[in-house]
A and B are shown apart, each in its own frame.
Chain A
Amino acid sequence: MRRTDLRSAIRLVPSLLLGCAALAGQARADSAPQWLHALAAAPVPEHDDKTNALQLIGETTITVRADGRIRRLERAAFRILRPEGQDRGRLVVPFDDQSKILDMHAWSIPTSGKDFAIKERDAIESALPGIANGELVSDVRAKLLLIPAAQPGSVVGYEYEQEARPYLIGDEWGFQDTVPVREARYTLNLPAGWGYRVAWLHHAPVEPASVSPTQVSWVVHDEAAVPIESDMPPWRGIAARMVVTLVPPGGAPTGLDSWKNLGDWYAELVRGRRDATPEIRERVAALTAGKDTPLAKIEALARYVQTDIRYVAIELGIGGHQPHPAADVFRHRYGDCKDKVTLLGSMLKEIGVESYYVAINTSRGAVGPDSPPSTDFDHMVMAIQLPAGVDATKLGAVVQHPALGKLLYFDPTDAMTPLGGLTGDLQDNHALLVAPGGGELVHLPQLKPAANTVQRTAHVVLDADGGLHGALVVRSTGDYAAMERYALRSVERESDRLKPIEALLAESVPNYQIVDSKIGDIANNDVPFEWNLTINSTKYAKVSGDLLLVRPRIVGTKGSGLLETREARRQPVEFARTRIDSDTFEIEIPPRYEVDELPPPTKVEYPFGAYRSRTEVVGRVLRYTRTLEIRQLSVPVAQAGDLKAFYRAIHGDEGRMAVLHQVAK
């Protein structure tokens, strides 16, 4: 059996992260508080055998100070039912320079033996910026308490207190969980003269359980779990929560009381940040020299900011919201999403084009049309006000704004999507437009399926032994072209460039060999991306006596096992994007063989998408054509059965064989 490494004491090799968890669990042998024992003693509510844990209580007490500080006391208890419920023994409390943790305690009552008790000094403090993604510096940290004996049968509980001085005053109560909640309470303590409004999202409104001039509280019981499923809408977009808008004395705006005021707050935050310097003006002039239309100039500036400004996020304090000045971004040649919007806005202004900040959440549905004002955004894009006369017919991401005219949405952080395009996660999404008259919640357009395509064409020759050789072309546009380019630009070895296409071939073509390959233009986002291949395969078709069995669908699988699950689907299915894929594969029939049987055509049609395939004989060629169209970004749970049937029909079609038979000489 493995033994602990017994290295001598002088060999103190720094272990960095390793071993920290072990050091942090030092606990005091106190017992759990009475309230937790009372919960542990109560009968276990009914549950099924797949319930990982039950939340016995969730209690939030918010105390608002007259100066805008907010004190939060959180208390919760869980009964762990399965090994998968052990994560309830990990208490993670984020904090930053605007919010400090005043106290933390956690306990467990195991099935046997004494209670465990730990507190803040036992916590691990952690901050792991994602340098690989350019998230370089942030002041967001977290304290982690690992609650002992978080095992099936145990009851674990915790409470912590935190004080924050938020930039925008408001709160929300998320009382639903991925496990069932037996009871949750929310208490709001207000200074004299303050008021509040609440909005319930994904839950029927609940009347306050008690109200006094300075305190109000709500209680909910037996809230069902919202389990995690693949390709589901963002959890925040479906889980129940109550959003609290605070109203200071006299009704002074808090920023979170309306989208308009939130936009005003942001406009104030970015005031002066887009002022151009002589160096910026000089670069604008250089980049637009020789461009004779406003659109050509916009494209030149957009491309510059997309590619020449490196993505680096340094977010400290208000820097999580406020961009760096355009002058700094330009000088350093780096910045985060809002910095890029700022610099491009500054440059556009130099050619007489206005643009606006657009704050968005890349998890579509996290902010919806009914969402109350919030800063629930994780990305900044921009809306470019197209000058009169610009031909916008080739620009997909354009909407007509009642006051601002034609607005072109653009993401200067995404170096792979050209002007006019919009990645799937931004489409049909809601965002805060920081317009001159204040903020407003706007809807970004859903582009047509034809904006994202994969077209595969092949012309191959089949021999009598089942071997196949010929040409294969894979052509992609929109998000698919961006993904291909991203994958290829990220490889570190020339020989790795073929791996994506090898993976495509390997899943469908046995004994494949790439005889020749040409990779399309990786750098130019304005053209479709193409693979041009010459391939060989032995034993592609199967010989059975005087028959030759050949699968007309040479490559590409479009079915999915997403809904082949034990449990019935509970949430809608979200597609990353709408799309149209089409394949045309031509297989030359070997001499002395004739077609005996052809696979039947497939045609399935639903509101969310359609699939059609057909195999025919054209002269001496077996011709397979198919089209997959995904029209909707979201499939309601009521149509999950249709989607499953849709995928099964595709899968069935993809495996079908044509039968050729040998004819006498």
Chain B
Amino acid sequence: MTAEPKAPGASAIYLYRQVDRDDHAGEETNMLAVKILTEEGRDRANVQIAYERNHEGITGIEARTIRADGTIVKFDGKVYDSTIVKARGVKVMVKTFTLPEVQVGSIIEYRYRRTMSMGLIYDSQWLLEDDLFTKHGVFTLRPSESFPIMWSWPVGLPPGTQPPERKTGRISMEVHDVPAFVTEEYMPPESALKYRVEFDYEWEMPERDSEKFWTHFAKERFKSIDDFIDHRRAMEKALTQIIDPSDAPDVRLQKIYYRVQQVRNVDYLPERSDEERERDKINPRDDAGDVWSRGYGNGYQITWLFLALARAAGLQADPVEVSTRDRYFFNRELNNASALNTNVVRIHLGDKDIYADPGTPHAPLGLLPWFESGVAGLVLAKTGGTWIKTPLPSEKESRIDRSATFALSDEGSLEGRLVVTFTGLHALTRRLSMRNEDARARKEELEDEVKRYVPTGIDVTLTNAPDWGASSSTLRAEFDIRVPGFAERAGSRMLLPLSVFRAEEGTMFTHAERVRPIYFEFPYTHEDTVVITLPAGFEPTGLPDPFTRDAGAVHYRNIADFHDGKLTERRHVDAVGYLYPVTAYGPLHQFFQGVRAGDEEQVVLTRAKTNASH
């Protein structure tokens, strides 16, 4: 056999994979059988087993090659033990060996035992989906008897797989025909897709009832937050420097928010060494008064400082713990408290709820960074918690507006001025990514972005000083721009591509097939208005019909107009959602192909007929 019908094209597959873990004895035995299907698959004969030397050991390595004719070559070579990383308190080693006589059609088999330091118990997981197709996998765990254990399969189980069973002190399960894990552009985070079973030890018997679990969690967490913020005198003193007693509530809110955001946020500084961190020490026992008085804190503390000040100012503010969607997709049924990894504050003002995160620099009041938007959050109170969903800015709120005025020369070059306005999450993500860069790097970044808009070499110069330091909802950049050879002379005619800014969407989703769901960070709108003054004496022979595409979740239109010697293009693309099932890929693929076709429409210019009289 040199092919597996269920994994067409695979270079190798796991015929068999077994993981037997015993947390009582502190060891794990791994057995693997890999069938080599192509020449490239022979690299699977190189085996590396990493381990953390201070807490683990690797013993009992045995390996063999089974040739295609069934004869066996026992591995009797050297196992190399090398250091990958050694630093204070950490020593990551790797056992390396390579099997002999591996050819297409061979099976390589190896097993080893991972031993763990006695006295320590580790959480663990069964990775059911790996980088190779798995024909048959067997997983067992004998849990420690010292601590209660919980297990879950956060993204489900491979089709046809029975859930893990606990029998006679062992948890076990088998899988069959699990495809290799595939990564693709614009896909959700891996942990939201990868089949696995996670095992978590707890200090005490875990609460299985989800409602009770989160109520208990909310009460406990509220108590610790209350300890942090409950420093009314310090907060009132701080407020005297921030607000005026006569300020209306919305003014108070704004003043407090933007002042707190100015507290030095150590999470957003350039990469620092431990020694530098030591000088800006963050103490687990810090409270809101400490953060305010010393003038720095981490983002988590700064957000709770805001909560403390808002409450002290008489605003109705609640702590909210949320789960970001850049690492995984939260499922509260899993009772995983650590998945609530972020904090925001909910302010009830008038008849509105405003969600605020001053621990994110440059985020305007009411705008959360994309990974905190549209996610589950638990509003914490003394009596328990209430689930909410944070707001997701609509496509109209995260925009790139490009407004350009060009003159087209007789030779076909465009020259003029471009104003790009980034709004909402588009502005915030750019400010965050460039927060530690200097003026030159920021200028180059913006100019390079404009170059990416246009599918040809252009000359572009940023002419204004964008306000990078603000917490504004917009970021405005102005450019002088020249596009040589944009239009082509064709005899007496000139052929002018309809769209100047067309490079981005044209390169998306070019492949016909897709395995994964499609994931954008946030809904968005791109809106262009391009006005081109034609060379004297030229006018269009006609204009392309308005071009529209509507795939439900994404929309495109491109409309040309001509008046007073000026050709105007109005181009619009929006995506109203951010997560689409793989079944939506076909229409999306067609949509972006259509965008490309629309952008490539041409306007034919000819010399206008003159009413000459002699």
Contacts and interface: CB of A to CB of B under 8 A. Distances in A.
B270 A23 contact: no
A528 interface: no
A184 B481 CA distance: 43
A7 interface: yes
Contacts, number: 283
B124 to A, nearest CB: 8
Contacts of B123: 7, 11, 13
A564 B437 contact: no
B55 to A, nearest CB: 6
Nearest to A651: B456
A22 B90 CA distance: 11
Given A24-B87, A126-B85, A657 B488 contact: yes
Interface string B122-152: 1110000000000000000000000100000
Given A599-B490, A648-B485, A547 B457 contact: no
B273 A25 contact: yes
Given A1-B303, A11-B201, A82-B438, A659 B121 contact: no
A127 B299 contact: no
Contact of A1 (B120, B202, B360, B440): B360
Contacts of B338: 5-7
B488 A11 contact: no
Contact of B96 (A5, A83, A129): A129
B102 A333 contact: yes
A207 interface: no
A190 to B, nearest CB: 35
A497 interface: yes
B135 to A, nearest CB: 15
B25 interface: no
A506 B507 contact: yes
Given A124-B85, A131-B46, A491-B9, A50 B440 contact: yes
B85 A496 contact: no
A360 interface: no
A8 B203 contact: yes
A64 interface: no
Given A14-B55, A542-B602, A512 B39 contact: no
Contacts of A648: 457, 484-485
B101 A151 contact: no
B298 A333 contact: no
Interface in A192-231: none
Sorting the interface of chain A by its residue count into under 10, 10 to 19, 20 to 34 or 35 or more gives 35 or more
Interface stretch (B160-168, B309-317, B397-405, B593-601): B593-601
Contacts of B100: 331-334
A223 B83 CA distance: 38
Contacts of A507: 507, 510
A148 B84 contact: no
B604 A128 contact: no
A511 B101 contact: no
A117 to B, nearest CB: 9
Contacts of B8: 493-495
A94 interface: no
Contact of B88 (A24, A596, A657): A24
Nearest to B48: A131
A20 B96 CA distance: 21
B56 interface: yes
Contacts of B603: 544
Contact of B357 (A1, A655, A657): A1
A542 B601 contact: yes
Nearest to B547: A539
A1 B300 contact: yes
A497 B11 CA distance: 13
Interface in B82-113: 82-90, 92, 96, 98, 100-103
Interface stretch (A31-39, A133-141, A582-590): A133-141
Given A82-B440, A125-B85, A659-B490, A499 B511 contact: yes
Nearest to A498: B512
Contacts of B474: none
B247 interface: no
B122 A13 contact: yes
A597 B493 contact: yes
B299 A2 contact: yes
Contacts of B488: 599, 652, 655-657
A19 interface: yes
B433 to A, nearest CB: 12
B602 A549 contact: yes
Contacts of B197: none
Interface in B408-449: 436-438, 440-441, 444, 447
A490 interface: yes
Contacts of B299: 1-3
Contacts of A547: 541, 604
Given A6-B338, A10-B203, A12-B120, A86 B46 contact: no
B85 A12 contact: no
Interface string A483-520: 00000011111111111001101110011111000000
A457 to B, nearest CB: 23
Interface stretch (A234-242, A290-298, A306-314, A625-633): A306-314
A146 B77 CA distance: 38
A389 interface: no
Contacts of B211: none
A352 interface: no
Contact of B436 (A2, A5, A20, A83): A83
B273 A146 contact: yes
Contacts of A15: 52
Given A20-B90, A26-B88, A494-B9, 19 more contacts: A14-B51, A14-B55, A16-B50, A19-B90, A20-B92, A23-B90, A125-B83, A126-B85, A131-B96, A491-B9, A502-B511, A502-B512, A510-B593, A512-B593, A542-B601, A547-B604, A596-B491, A651-B457, A655-B488
Closest 4 interchain pairs by CB?
A: A1-B359, A1-B299, A506-B510, A25-B273
19 contacts: A3-B298, A5-B341, A10-B120, A17-B92, A82-B440, A131-B46, A134-B46, A148-B276, A149-B273, A314-B80, A492-B180, A493-B8, A499-B511, A506-B507, A544-B602, A648-B485, A657-B490, A657-B602, A659-B604
